[in-house]
Structure 1
Amino acid sequence: MNVDKETIWLIVGFLGQGLFSARFIVQWLKSEREKKSVFPIAFWYFSIGGGVTLLAYAVYRQDPVFIVGQLTGLFIYFRNLYFVVHERKNLGLE
């Protein structure tokens, strides 16, 4: 089976979108269990995984709008993950 470069990049794009979308499912399920709006740490990991993958796809496509959007989002996701990890360390949870 011979898969061309365009097909591989389409797969990468869909994988990134899948990871990015999974964060909302994780957040929704956790919030349902807690009966309040909650953002589990997995939300930020899925955000970063999806953001990095979509950024790679955007760079391949040479789409400056998509690139800037993903870079901005990644900064926010990493910053929020830092806050979560820092808070857990201060609380002695890690």
Structure 2
Amino acid sequence: MLIQYGQALGNYLNDVFVAKFDFWLAFGMAAQLVFGARFLVQWIYSERAGRSVVPMAFWFFSVGGGLMTLVYGIVKREPVIILGQALPTVIYVRNIMLILKSRADGSQTLDR
């Protein structure tokens, strides 16, 4: 029984990651890496500051990864990904706009 589950898992992983590997799968994986990198950047920045801080790089990675993932969803016709990335990407861009506006106004922010 355990061997059957192992074989089924191996077949599934092969089907998902090997048999269906193409440019768009590689693009989607790169998109997830860019999107995930934002948390690494935020964590490092917060550790250095000794408090929780959201740096500008977080928002740039959010926009880049969000747009890449949205493109992937559109090309692959994945409605869950399309809906899951369309509005948040707009919000990421808006956050950048608000940060830049506050900087231009001379306001102090925690975002750098």
1:81 is matched by which residue type in structure 2? I
Q: Deviations over 1:33-89 (max 9, x none)?
A: 111110100000000000010001000111112101100110110111111111111
Q: Which deviates further from its counterpart, 19-28 or 59-68?
A: 59-68
2:42 to 15, 27, 37: 27
Question: Percent identity of the aligned residues?
Answer: 42
The alignment's TM-score, normalised by the length of structure 2, stands at 0.74
SS of 1:91's equivalent in the other structure is coil
- Which structure is larger by alpha-carbon Rg, 1 or 2? 2
Bigger relative contact order, structure 1 or 2 (CA pairs below 8 A, ≥6 apart): 1
Q: Is 1:59 equivalent to 2:74 in the alignment? A: yes
2:70 is matched by which residue type in structure 1? L
Tell me the number of residue pairs that the alignment of Structure 1 and Structure 2 aligns: 88
Aligned to 1:18: 33
CA distance in 1, matches of 2:107, 2:54: 19
Q: Structure 2: state its 5+ residue gaps.
A: 1-20
Runs of 4+ in 1 over 3 A off after TM superposition: none
Q: Give 1:92 deviation, angstroms.
A: 7.7
CA RMSD of aligned residues (A): 1.5
Aligned to 1:69: 84
Aligned to 1:37: 52
1:47 to 62, 66, 75: 62
Q: Structure 1: state its 5+ residue gaps.
A: 1-5
The alignment's TM-score, normalised by the length of structure 1, stands at 0.88
